Chains A and B, each alone.
Chain A
C-alpha cells in the first residue's frame, strides 16, 4: 500500500492529485495506492480574481467552487485544518483529532497574509488579497473624488508579484476615465532599488509609470503607518502622505510547517530543492506553489508548472523506477499575464536561466488574461493545459 497525502487544495495540490490519478490509475483502482487531499475549507478559490473585484467587473461568488468538483473521483477529499505534521513518524493530525498516515507527502499549503504585522494596517490600508478586502477597496475607489493615492508593498515575498503594479496602472486608467486624474496624485513604492524584482520587467514598467505620471519611490520598505497624520513611513526614513493607501500585506508560510520544524521562522517558507522540489533533503516530502522558499513568483502559474514534476517523482517512487530526467526536474518555468491598463497587457514567461522578455503591451495579452481567468476551472486544476 502506498499512501499519498496532499496538504492543500489550491492550484498545486489539486493539480498534483489529478495528475497522479493519470499516472497511477491502475494501482489506485486495484487498491494499492490511496490518494488523499486535505483542505481546510473544501472550497477552491481562484485568487487572481480578487484584483478584479477591486478593479471592477468581478464578483466573489464567481471565484470559488467546491474542491470536490475539481478532483478526480478516485481522490479522497478530507476537509479539516492540519494542526500537526510529524515527519519522523509519517503522520498528520487534523483539528478534529483525525490522524492521517502517509508514505509520500505533498505540502501545497500556500501562503497567508499577516496584515496585523504592521500596526494600523487594518484601519488605514486597503488591499486586494481577499475577496472582502478587494470589495472594500472597490468601495473606497468609488468614493474617491481626488487626492493622493499611494500603492506599495509592505513585505516580501508576496503573492503575484506584478499585482501591485497592475493595480496602480488600472487605478490610473480608471481615474482618467472618471475625469479625476488631474485632481489626483499617484505614487508607487517599491521595497527594492527598481520598480520590479526582475530587471527586464522593471525596464518595461518604469517608462509606463513615467508616461502615466505615477511617481516611483524605490527602496521604500513600509515600517509604520501614522493614522493621525495620514502618512506611511519607510524604514529608510521617507514618508508619504496619502488620502487612499493600498498596500500588499506581509505574507508568511503556514504556521504548522514552522511548528513541525519543516520551515524556519519567521517566514515559514519550506527549504525546497529547486529541481526535485523535495523538502529539506527528505525523499518522501515535496512542496510546490507559494509554500516553497524558491526565488520565484508566488503565483498559481509557478504551482501549475511544478505540479507535473512532483507527480512524476511520486509516481516513480510508487512504481519503483527512476524519475524521468526531463519530466522529473523543475526548471523554474513561470508564465503570467501583466495588465498595464487601458485594455492592454503583456506576458511574462521565464525560467531559472532565461529572464522574461515581455512583448510590448497590447490588447491581445489583456484578452489572453480575460480568457484564461474565465476558462481556468476547466483547464488548469484538471491538468488539461
Chain B
C-alpha cells in the first residue's frame, strides 16, 4: 500500500482575491512572519502570476508547498512554514 503524505490542517487562510501581483505574495510573507513553525497557510489569489511566483518564493524561503489547486476563478496555494 502506498503511503501519501498527510495534508495538514490549514491554520490560516488569506483571501487575496482581487489583489494584484505582488499583493498576494506580500500578504503571504506577512502571514509567514506572524506564524509559528508548523503552521499551514492557504492563500487565495485571482492573480494569474501567483501560481508561479508564490511556489518559487516558497522554495527559495525553505518552506513546503502543500497544495496548489485552481478553484472557481482563483487559485488556492497552501504552504507549511518549516523554519
Contact = CB atoms under 8 A, between A and B. Distances in A.
Given A235-B29, A235-B32, A193 B19 contact: no
A237 interface: yes
B71 interface: no
A157 to B, nearest CB: 8
A219 B21 contact: no
Contacts, number: 36
Of A197, A199, A218, A236, the most chain B CB neighbours within 10 A belong to A236
Nearest to A223: B33
Nearest to A219: B60
Contacts of A191: 22, 26, 29
A14 interface: no
Interface range for A: 10 to 19
Contact of A235 (B21, B33, B56): B33
B79 interface: no
Interface of B: 19-23, 25-26, 29, 32-33, 49, 52-53, 56-57, 60-62, 83
Contacts of B83: 237
18 contacts: A191-B22, A191-B29, A192-B21, A192-B25, A193-B52, A193-B56, A197-B22, A199-B49, A219-B56, A219-B57, A235-B32, A236-B57, A236-B60, A236-B61, A236-B62, A237-B61, A237-B83, A295-B19
A192 B47 CA distance: 15
A56 to B, nearest CB: 31
A221 interface: yes
Contacts of B52: 193
Given A156-B26, A191-B26, A237-B61, A295 B20 contact: yes
Contacts of A197: 21-22
A199 B47 CA distance: 13
Interface in A183-209: 191-193, 197, 199
A218 B25 CA distance: 13
A29 to B, nearest CB: 43
Contacts of A156: 22, 26
B29 A221 contact: yes
A353 to B, nearest CB: 12
Contact of B53 (A192, A221, A235): A192
Nearest to B56: A193
Contacts of A192: 21-22, 25, 53
A154 to B, nearest CB: 12
Contacts of A221: 29
Contacts of A236: 57, 60-62
A218 B56 CA distance: 10
Contacts of B29: 191, 221, 235
Contacts of B32: 235
What are the nearest 6 A-B pairs in CB distance? A295-B20, A236-B61, A192-B22, A219-B60, A193-B53, A236-B60
Contact of B57 (A193, A199, A237, A295): A193
Interface in A56-110: none
B68 to A, nearest CB: 16
